[in-house]
Amino acid sequence: MLRKPISLVLFVLFASLVCVATAAAEDRKRVLVIESYHADYAWDVSLLRGIRRGLGKDVEVFTFQMNTKRLPREQFQARAEAAFAYYREVKPDLVMLADDNAASLLGRRFVEQKVPLVYLGINGNPRNYGLHNSPNVLGVLERPLVKRSIMLLSSMSSDIRRVLVLFDDSTTSFEIAHTMLNDETEFTLYGVECELVRATFYSAWQRLVLESKRNGYDAILLGVYHTLLSGDNSVVHEDVAMQWLNANSPVPIFALWDFSIGKGKATAGFMLRGEDQGYAAALLARSFFNGTQETARLITIEPSLVFSRFEMERWHLKADAFSSRKILWVE
């Protein structure tokens, strides 16, 4: 006789739990991260780790990769259209544009949509992307510290007096040269003579490395190297380029990003961590959700000083000049 009432109670309880779970799912905010690059690119992996950590589990994160490190420039606009189509499909509460290509190709378009928008990893001027003075836009600037890294080199060894600053020919490289170095290719900082070279082809990049010591350079400051083209115009994988560089460079290598420093890579650098950028961007996103975006400000991330134990020993370099600073040691 009690079976029907018990069954009814269980049914009502189950239905209530389903309704609560459905309501909770519907209340979750949806964030779309449009990445300029590809999913296994170390910078993007780090960015997303920071974004997810900052947003927490109560926010649903969707991603779209534009793959502009690997695709030819003439395909960029098509990828931007695909990204915008995905935005219409997902209908997110907030959009994040990661790095310059996504910002330049889609920034103005999303500003017009009036959707809450957070940009991150931007090397160029946000004004150039239509992201300045818009009430629905907040952002995190990426400012690789070329000049402070030169200071690092000059402090580590009195033998380092001429440096090759080596980049690929990507949008990131152009924006760094334009925004932070005023398009100067030769400059002197802290008594160190520097020359900035941007290489399109892997073979030219390799030649610059092999001839660096013969040409009077004492060290290489490595920028991005992710769009170097092989003889058939395909992009050389970044791991292949780094392995070759570490094995063949006749002078110590320093770098500007965390993914380039460690055993079998570069020796040290004042570098930017993608995870820090992502976490800061997530906090800005939360300010939109909390209604406090009007008090939020543009963020520029402070760099970290990173040394590789293995590579420092390999090149007989010391970090004594930086004993008073916080140092992150990696393998």
Residue range 83-128, pLDDT digits in tens: 999 999 999 999 999 999 999 999 999 999 999 999 999 989 999 9
134 and 218 co-located in one domain = no
Neighbours of 151 (CB within 10 A): 14
198 and 326 co-located in one domain = yes
177 and 317 co-located in one domain = yes
Q: Compute the distance between CA of residue 218 and CA of residue 216 in angstroms, rounded to an integer.
A: 7
> Which tens digit of pLDDT belongs to each residue from 213-243?
999 999 999 999 999 999 999 999 999 999 9
- Classify residue 277 as exposed, middle or buried by CB count within 10 Å of its CB (0-12, 13-18, 19+): buried
223 and 172 co-located in one domain = yes
Residue 6 covered by a domain = no
> Which tens digit of pLDDT belongs to each residue from 174-213?
999 998 899 999 999 999 999 999 999 999 999 999 999 9
Domain that holds residue 264: 146-271+305-330
Q: Which of 259, 262, 278, 258 is nearest to 270 (CA)?
A: 258
Does residue 26 surpass a pLDDT of 60? no
pLDDT at 266: 97
pLDDT at 27: 78
Total domains, the chain: 2
Residue 236 covered by a domain = yes
Q: What is the CATH number of the domain that holds 189?
A: 3.40.50.2300
Residue 294 covered by a domain = yes
More confident residue, 214 or 301: 214
293 and 310 co-located in one domain = no
74 and 128 co-located in one domain = yes
Please state the pTM of the whole predicted model: 0.83
